[in-house]
Structure 1
Amino acid sequence: MKRMARRSRKIPGMNLTSLMDVFTILVFFLLTNSAGDEALEAPKQITLPDSVVETKPRVTVVIMVTETDILVQGKVVADTRDLFDKKVKVVVPIANRLIEIKNSVIGTNTKAAAASKEVNILAHKTIPFKILKKIMGTCSGAGYSKISLAVIQKASQS
């Protein structure tokens, strides 16, 4: 009787091997999904236009065009209102900043962005295309020939 009572009081132990396997898989899943900078975050002062998007954005040099300022990699370089002047063909401060970024490679992300010679332009949807055309011409002149315009992805109509 006593032996039967002792056997029934035994608490089953937890299998640590299976638990460790689950946690390992969870850690690898979280690391792989949080490691990339694949999505561009638009600041609150920029409202992007909607469009159907086929490809995901890559790590590139980012030019943000707000209604008041132009920022290259987060640094204000020019005033948007100055570009409405028809005499302005090339935006020299943007070209200087792009060349500065190309020459000052620090980390692996910066090296990848500078080596790719790609530019992502995040422009407020009220900015006229003639302004964006001047910025794109400046980017091409500075050696950044692959230019992408960022938009908000909407569902494809197929």
Structure 2
Amino acid sequence: MLIYYIISLVVVLIDQLTKYLTLENIPLHGTVEAIPSILSFTYFRNTGAAWSILEGQMVFFYIVTVIVIGVIIYYMQTQGKNDKAFAFALSLILGGAIGNFIDRLFLNYVVDMIRLEFIDFPIFNVADMSLSVGVIFMILYLFYDEWKEHKQKKVGMK
């Protein structure tokens, strides 16, 4: 199980490093072009959740995040021991949740900086990517697990 907590820690460290570098090197709303017409870094303060929904509701985010972190740790300890794919998905979600929680606690906003220039998509950060990939892995895992159970039931009926 330790490896999955280390994965979460690595996500948090990379997330916090990129946010620190953003704060130190890019003025608020400033942009640094990385790959023309594809990727830039734009310093944005997000006081809400994805797409800035529920802006300014910090107490709500504190409560929800503490609950989510607790639930993830519970499932990592109980179910994650039995399934590496499930534990990996949880570790990505945990790292992302903690990364953005640190910002909310110490800054009262989340530092976002990654901007995709080729699509109209909100600015995001490493924690957001980790959360999104973790949720996608979780959904795929749940579909696969359901399919596997269905297949076993079918074989058992023969």
The interval holding the TM-score normalised by the smaller chain is under 0.3
Q: Which has the higher contact order (CA 8 A, sep 6+)?
A: 2
TM-score, length basis structure 2? 0.26
- Greater radius of gyration (CA): 1
TM-score, length basis structure 1? 0.26
